Amino acid sequence: MSLASSPAIWAIGDIQGCCRPLDSLLSHPDVASDSQATFWFAGDLVNRGPDSLGALRLIRSLGDRAVCVLGNHDIHCLAVAAGVRKSGKQDTLQELLAAPDAQELLDWLRHQPLAHYEHGHLMVHAGVHPDWSPEQTLGYAHELEALLRADDWQDKIIELFGNHPDRWDAKLEGYDRLRAIVSTLTRMRMCDVNGRMDFKHKGAPDAESGLLAWFELPNRACAQVPIIFGHWSTLGLLNTPTVISLDTGCVWGRQLSAVRLQDRHLVQIHCPESKKPG
């Protein structure tokens, strides 16, 4: 079935535990009018917002209508649940981790993919390396998924954290390879011209920094492929033929954004009850 003839597909930005805005989005007349619509969530389903437990329960209740990719906050949540990372001062995971259905929800979460490619659109949480085709992106994502879905995932997930290596090389092996993949898919924003990731720059793109937004790097293998991503709230909404950036800062009191892929129609829900940064 082609994209044009399929039920509506809504790509949705970072939820980060903002359950009420998500519920409002799903109830919006433009969204609710198609009972067969599917929802593509660009990662960071949990953390920092007021109701990660409710958000996960709601998204999971959508069944096959929900397509999710994991973000850095989701992986952090799993690591905290595994007992190998501590909660940060801004984390809001306690209610989720203490819930009676926590194990069921976390098992569901760790079985979600790191990349999704369908109807010619590629979805990741943060970015795609310039050398990667859609098929390669899926293949590298599968390497991470194998670790998270393994019986001993709790012993290995800590190896995914760290800033090195900060540049992808197909010759990388072991945990260095997985760390480079997870950094690309869930953390990347700005890079130098050689594709080296800069993890310090979290603001809007700044040409004077000598860095480029990852999607501005030259000769990208996916240059003609529409890529859906979130992660970068200071970048905000982009809705171009090949770049759909959807983190519009719901958790910081701004908006939760969704774009219908068939016609790029935008729906935004204001999130005044969410906390402000700082």
Q: Are 79 and 85 in contact (CB under 8 A)?
A: yes
pLDDT tens digits, 208-257? 678 999 999 999 999 999 999 999 999 999 999 999 999 999 999 999 99
273: confidence class by pLDDT, cuts 50, 70, 90: low
| pTM of the predicted model as reported, rounded to 2 decimal places | 0.96
Whole domain around residue 194: which residue ranges? 9-270
What average pLDDT does the segment 117-141 reach?
98
pLDDT of residue 204: 86
pLDDT digits (tens, 9 = 90+) for 18-43: 999 999 999 999 999 999 999 999 99
Sign (positive or negative) of CA dihedral 276, 66, 61, 36: positive
Phi/psi region, residue 264 (left: phi>0; alpha: psi -120 to 50; beta: rest), is: left
**Integer-rounded Cα radius of gyration of the chain:** 18
Tally of domains within the chain:
1
Domain assignment present for 278: no
Is 104 domain-assigned?
yes
Say what angle helices 72-82 and 102-110 make with each other, to 10 degrees. Answer: 130
Sequence-separated (6 or more) residues with CB below 8 Å from residue 106: 77, 78, 81
Give the per-residue pLDDT at 274: 61
d(CA 245, CA 228): 6
pLDDT at 84 over 90: yes
Domain membership flag for residue 152: yes
Question: How many helices (H) does the chain have, and how many strands (E)?
Answer: 9, 13
Q: Does any domain span residue 264? A: yes
Is residue 241 in a domain? yes
Mean pLDDT of the chain: 96
Answer whether residue 3 is part of any domain.
no
Q: In what order do the strands lie in the sheet with 197-198?
A: 197-198, 190-191, 212-213
* Sign of the dihedral defined by the CA atoms of residues 57, 61, 66, 69, in that order: positive
The string of pLDDT tens digits covering residues 93-122 is 999 999 999 999 999 999 999 999 999 999
User: What is the number of other CB atoms lying within 10 angstroms of the CB of residue 5?
Assistant: 7
In a domain, 233, yes or no: yes
Q: Given this model, what pLDDT does residue 205 score? A: 86
Domain with 249 in it: what CATH number? 3.60.21.10
pLDDT at 278 over 80: no
Provide mean pLDDT across the span 196-202: 92
At 10-19, the pLDDT tens digits run: 999 999 999 9
In a domain, residue 277? The reply is no
